Amino acid sequence: MKTKDIYHVIGYPVKHSLSPKIQMQLATKYNQDIAFTAVEIEPQDLEQKIQEFKSNPSVKGLSVTVPHKEKVFAMCDNSDELAKDVKAASNVIFTEDRQMIALNYDGLGIVNDIKNNHKVSIKNKSVLVIGAGGAAKAVVAAIIAEKPKSITIANRTKSKADDIKKLFAYKYSVDVASFENITGKYDIVINSTSASIDGQMLPLSKDNFGENGFAYDLMYAENGTIFTKWCDDNNIKNADGKGMLMELSKAVFKYWRNL
Ligand code: ATR
C-alpha cells in the first residue's frame, strides 16, 4: 500500500500557524489524501531535521516560516527563479530523487492579497517596508514589479536593510531609513518583522501614513496583531497576513499536487 504523502510547516515558533488547517481544507476540496502538520524546530536543530525530511521519501514538501527562510534556502539543491532572486524559501518541494527545491511564494501572496482582496493599488504609491529578513526581500521583489513611486526599508539592524538595497540596485533604487526614527509619510506600510509575535509595536506614528494610508502585517493572529490593533486605534486601514497566507497556500498547493 502506498503511504500518505506528508507535508510540514516548519518554524520557531510555529504553534500559531494556520497552514495545516488551510492545506487540509485544500486537500479535502481537491480530493488529495495527504497529511500536513506543524513541526517546531529550534534554529540549532534545523540542519538535522532537514536531513531527516530529505531521507524520508514520504515527505513531499515544506512550508517555511520565521526564522528559517534564508537558512532553508541555503540547504536546498536547487531553486525557482524567485527564491534564487531573494535567497529565501517560503516553501520547498522534494523531487522523486530527493532533490530539495526552494520555492518562494511570499511576494505573490502579499501582492495578490493587497491588490485583489483589499483593492489597494501599489502602482505609483510610496511604500515603507519595515524589516529586512527573508520575507522582506521577497516582498520588495514583488512590490518592485508593481511599479511603485518609491520603496523605503527600515530595519532594527540597519546593515540588513543596506544589503537589500544592494540586492536590488541593478533594477531599482530602494531607500534606507532609520528604524528608530521613521520620518516621512507613506501610502503603504508593510510590517515584515516578527515583532508582532513578540508582542512588540514598531516605532511608527500616525503621521507616517498619508491620507488613505494602508498598513499590512505579514504576521497574523486570531484577533489581529499588536500592529493591526494599533492601526485600528488610529483609524488606519489595515490587514494582517492571513490573506497572504491563503493566497500563497493555494498557489503552492497546486504546484505540490501538480493540479
Ligand atoms: P523572515 O524570514 O520571516 O523574514 P527573519 O529572516 O528572521 O524572518 O527576519 C525577521 C525580521 O524581523 C528581521 O528584520 C528582524 O530584525 P533584525 O534584522 O534586526 O533582527 C525583525 N525583528 C524581529 N523581531 C523584532 C523586534 N522585536 N523589533 C523589530 N524588528 C524585529
The predicted-structure confidence for 214-239, as pLDDT tens digits, reads as follows 999 999 999 999 999 999 999 999 99
Looking at residue 231, its pLDDT comes to 98
State which of 156, 164, 202, 217 you would mutate to test the pocket of ligand 1, scoring each by most atoms of that ligand within 8 A of its C-beta.
Answer: 156
Residue 117 has pLDDT above 80, yes or no: yes
What's residue 3's pLDDT? 87
Q: Give residues with Cβ within 8 angstroms of 233, minimum separation 6.
A: none
pLDDT tens across 97-112, in order? Answer: 999 999 999 999 999 9
Amino acid, res. 139: V
Instruction: Check residue 47 and give its pLDDT.
Output: 98
Residue 165 pLDDT exceeds 90 = yes
Closest by CA position to 142, among listed 156, 127, 131, 157: 127
- Annotated catalytic residue within 2, 15, 49, 69: 69
For ligand 1, atom 12, the nearest C-alpha belongs to 193
Give the per-residue pLDDT at 2: 75
Cα-to-centroid distance, 257 and ligand 1 (Å): 32
Distance between Cα 101 and ligand 1 center (Å): 24
For the chain, give the percent of residues with pLDDT over 90.
Answer: 98
Q: Is there a catalytic annotation at residue 229?
A: no
Mean pLDDT of 199-228: 96
Q: In this predicted structure, what is the pLDDT of residue 253?
A: 98
Three-state DSSP at 106 gives helix
pTM of structure: 0.94
pLDDT band at 159 (very low <50, low <70, confident <90, very high): very high
CA atoms of 70 and 146, how far apart (whole Å) = 24
Is the pLDDT confidence value at 144 over 90? Answer: yes
Place of cell 511564494: 105
Q: What SS3 state is found at 59?
A: strand
Instruction: Give the pocket of ligand 1 (CB within 6 Å).
Output: 66-67, 69-70, 88, 131-136, 155-157, 160, 192-195, 198, 200
Average pLDDT over residues 82-107: 96
Cβ 73 vs Cβ 80: under 8 Å: no
Q: Given ligand 1 and candidates 16, 87, 104, 193, which is best to mutate, with the most ligand atoms within 8 Å of its CB?
A: 193
User: How far is residue 202 from each of residues 14, 117, 172, 185, 225, measured CA to CA in Å?
Assistant: 22, 25, 26, 15, 12
CA 66 – ligand 1 centroid, Å: 8
| Side chain identity, residue 46 | L
pLDDT higher than threshold 90 for residue 41: yes
Give the E-state strand segments of 135-254 in sequence order: 150-154, 175-177, 186-191, 209-217, 237-239
Give the dihedral of Cα atoms 100, 71, 43, 243; nearest 10 deg.
Answer: -80
Interatomic CA distance for residues 44 and 24, integer angstroms: 29
Q: Is 45 helix (H, G, I), strand (E, B) or coil?
A: helix
What's the gap in Å between 30 CA and the centre of ligand 1?
A: 35
Torsion of CA 74, 79, 83, 86, to 10 degrees: 50
Looking at residue 36, its pLDDT comes to 98
The residue to mutate among 128, 140, 194, having the most atoms of ligand 1 within 8 angstroms of its beta carbon, is: 194
Measured in Å, residue 67 CA sits from the centre of ligand 1 at 8
* Nearest CA owner, ligand 1 atom 21: 193
Quote the pLDDT of residue 4. 95
